[in-house]
Amino acid sequence: MNETRRKLTTIFSADVQDYTRLMGADEEGTLAMLKRSREAMSGLIVAHGGRVINTWGDGLIAEFPSVVEAVRAAVDVQNELAGMNTARPADGRMLFRIGINLGDVIAEGDDIYGDGVNIAARLQASAVAGGIVISNTVYDQVRNKVAVGFDFLGPLAVKNVAEAVPSYAVRIGEGVDSSSQRPVSAVPAGTVSTPDAGPRSTKARKMGALYAVASAALVVINLLSWQGVFWAVWPILAFAFVAAMTWVRRQNRIDRRIAALAVVGLGIVAINLLSWHGTFWAIWPLLGIAVAAGIRWAMRS
């Protein structure tokens, strides 16, 4: 018999919006698209340290040891699936809804059961097509660690769970209007929407202003103590590199590893040009970076 035990884990629940309609319109095409979407989703779940527990119909359940990686995986999944849908007509797109909850579950073999799973499924059902909804237990862990915004949706009633679960929509792009979704059990009008990107954006602006002031000060010092060498360009280049890598960590529109490789490549070109001695040696490390980025792209595809 499989050992039964309890554990704290992050549950990831997903299903397809309007799956029955899609099947009625094009059964074979919908099944083929579902298979491709699941393969892409499973690959990203594994890449973020999670595991797929079960699939049924159009649904999928996975778990993650890390709450942060679960949310990052969900964002990557929705971005990846959005790209897969671009070539399809609007009424034929396969849009998934995702719910994420951090909770105590009963584990038996490879399966998990309990209120934690039920809450994740309820959160998923309340998400808009192409959207993500998380519980307050997830929000408390990721609000300052993931470069996305959040909109408070209010308490969400869950069957067989005594207290309503406060929920948040993850704001992942222009294509999903998370502020428009509100569960049936949400608090009445007047509830404040609390985007969490504000403090992070303010911090980023402050850091950018600090780099700009420091760069200007270095240029002035360099000019006032001029000895024929514009040495200020090197610390300014370092500031630009740090700012660019900070942006890479915060954005979700481009694969972070590919974006980081691009920043490194631009930095190498800048160093080559600023220390020009008649040879464009940067072509060789750029070739290696291009190969690495190509491999990363191929693995994601």
pTM of the model: 0.59
Task: Output the average pLDDT for the chain.
Answer: 85
We find that the CATH architecture of domain 4-171 is 2-Layer Sandwich (3.30)
Q: Is the pLDDT of residue 175 over 70?
A: no
Sign for the pseudo-dihedral over CA of 198, 203, 206, 212:
negative
C-beta of residue 150 within 8 angstroms of C-beta of residue 139:
yes
Q: Domain spans of the chain?
A: 4-171, 212-299
Half-sphere exposure of 47 (CA within 13 A, CB side): 19
The total number of residues written for the chain in this structure: 301
Q: Is the pLDDT of residue 165 over 80?
A: yes
pLDDT band at 253 (very low <50, low <70, confident <90, very high): low
Q: Is the pLDDT of residue 113 over 70?
A: yes
Pick the closest to residue 101 from 134, 124, 146 (CA basis). Answer: 134
Structure tokens at 128: 């808009």
pLDDT digits (tens, 9 = 90+) for 5-32: 999 999 999 999 989 999 998 899 999 9
pLDDT digits (tens, 9 = 90+) for 30-89: 999 999 999 999 999 999 999 999 988 899 999 999 999 999 999 999 999 999 988 888
Sign for the pseudo-dihedral over CA of 235, 238, 242, 248:
positive
* CB-CB neighbours of 97 under 10 Å: 22
pLDDT digits (tens, 9 = 90+) for 206-241: 788 888 899 999 999 999 999 999 999 999 999 999
pLDDT at 91: 84
- Residues of the chain above pLDDT 70, percent: 86
pLDDT at 300: 56
Q: How far is CA 186 from the centre of its chain?
A: 25
> Residue 89, exposed/middle/buried by CB under 10 A (0-12, 13-18, 19+)?
exposed
Q: Angle CA(32)–CA(256)–CA(236) in degrees, nearest 5?
A: 160
pLDDT at 184: 40
Q: What is the mean pLDDT of residues 98-127?
A: 92
* CB-CB neighbours of 19 under 10 Å: 17
pLDDT band at 90 (very low <50, low <70, confident <90, very high): confident
pLDDT at 192: 40
pLDDT at 202: 62
pLDDT at 176: 44
pLDDT at 127: 93
Pick the closest to residue 182 from 162, 198, 166, 197 (CA basis). Answer: 166
